[in-house]
Amino acid sequence: MTLTAAWRQVLDRATPASPLRPSVEGLRHALEQALAGEALGAAQGYALMEATGTDLTALMLVAAALRDTGRGERVTYSRKVFLPLTNLCRDRCGYCTFVKAPGETDAHTMTPDEVLAVAREGARCGCKEALFSLGDHPEWRYPEALRQLRALGYESTPEYVAAMCRLVLEETGLLPHTNCGVLSADELLLLRGVNVSMGLMLENVSPRLLERGGPHFGCETKDPRVRLETLTRAGELGIAMTTGILIGIGETYQERVDSLIAIRELHRRYGHIQEVIIQNFRAKPRTRMAGMAEPTTLDMARTVAMARLLLGPDMNIQAPPNLNADGCQVYLLAGINDWGGVSPVTRDYINPEAPWPEVARLRQLTQETGQALHERLALYPEYVRNSAWELAPALGRRVRELSDEEGYVRKELEAW
Ligand code: SF4
| Single residue among 47, 71, 95 that ends a domain in this structure | 71
Encode burial over 301-318: b for 16+ CB neighbours within 10 A, e otherwise.
bbbbbbbbbbbbbebbbb
> 28: Cβ–Cβ under 8 A, 6 or more apart, which residues?
11, 14
CA of 363 to the centre of ligand 1 (A): 31
Pocket test for ligand 1, best of 85, 97, 99, 286 (most atoms within 8 A of CB): 99
Is residue 96 in contact with ligand 1, taking CB distance under 6 Å?
yes
Range of the domain at 269: 74-403
Answer whether 260's CB lies under 8 Å from 243's CB. no
How far apart are the CA of 18 and the centre of ligand 1, in A?
A: 40
Is 220 in the same domain as 364?
yes
Identify whether 336 is part of a domain.
Answer: yes
CA distance linking residue 6 with residue 70, whole number of Å = 20
Question: What is this structure's pTM?
Answer: 0.94
Residues 234 and 368 in one domain: yes
- Position 412 in a domain: no
Is 414 a domain residue? no
Is ligand 1 within 6 A of the CB of residue 92?
yes
Could you give phi then psi for residue 303, rounded to 5 degrees?
A: -75, -35
Q: Three-state DSSP class for 395?
A: helix
Domain check: are 198 and 293 in the same one?
A: yes
Q: Are residues 231 and 273 in the same domain?
A: yes
Please report, for the domain that includes residue 390, its CATH number.
3.20.20.70
Identify the helix (H) or strand (E) that includes residue 376.
Answer: strand 372-376
| CA nearest to 344, candidates 127, 67, 106, 134 | 127
Please indicate, yes or no, if residue 409 is contained in any of the structural domains: no
Same-domain pairing of 42 and 97: no
Residue 165 lies in a domain: yes
Q: Are residues 32 and 95 in the same domain?
A: no
- Report the nearest-CA residue for atom 2 of ligand 1: 135
User: 319 and 277 in contact (C-beta within 8 Å)?
Assistant: yes
Residue 411 lies in a domain: no
With a 6 Å cutoff on the Cβ, whether 138 touches ligand 1 is no
Contact at 8 Å (CB) between 168 and 115?
A: yes
Q: Among the three residues 23, 44, 71, which one is the final residue of a domain in this structure?
A: 71
Contact of 320 with 339, CB cutoff 8 Å: yes
- Count of other CB atoms within 10 angstroms of residue 60: 25
Locate the ligand 1 atom nearest the alpha carbon of residue 90 and give its number.
Answer: 8
Output the tens digit of pLDDT for each of the chain's 416 residues.
445 555 665 566 555 545 455 667 788 888 899 989 899 999 999 999 999 998 999 999 999 999 999 999 999 999 999 999 999 999 999 999 999 999 999 999 999 999 999 999 999 999 999 999 999 999 999 999 999 999 999 999 999 999 999 999 999 999 999 999 999 999 999 999 999 999 999 999 999 999 999 999 999 999 999 999 999 999 999 999 999 999 999 999 999 999 999 999 999 999 999 999 999 999 999 899 999 999 999 999 999 999 999 999 999 999 999 888 778 999 999 999 999 999 888 877 777 777 777 888 899 999 999 999 999 999 999 999 998 899 999 999 999 999 999 999 999 998 65
Residue 338 Cβ inside 6 Å of ligand 1? The answer reads no
Q: Is the dihedral of CA 404, 410, 411, 416 positive or negative?
A: negative
Classify residue 29: in a domain, yes or no.
yes
Max CA distance (Å), the chain: 68
Tell me, in angstroms, the distance from the centre of ligand 1 to residue 93's CA.
Answer: 6
- Tell me, yes or no, whether 109 and 188 share the same domain: yes
Residue 100 maps to a domain: yes
Q: Say which residues have a Cβ less than 8 Å from residue 253's Cβ, sequence separation at least 6.
A: 46, 49, 50
Residue where a domain terminates, one of 71, 102, 123: 71
Provide the number of structural domains found in the chain. 2
User: 214 CA to middle of ligand 1, Å?
Assistant: 14
Q: Do both 236 and 365 map to the same domain? A: yes
- Is 93 near ligand 1, meaning CB less than 6 Å away? yes
Q: Which of 255, 232, 230 is nearest to 245 (CA)?
A: 255
Co-location of 220 and 280 in the same domain: yes
- Residue 312 and residue 183 share a domain: yes
Based on the fold, state whether residues 130 and 271 are members of the same structural domain: yes
Same domain, 60 and 82: no
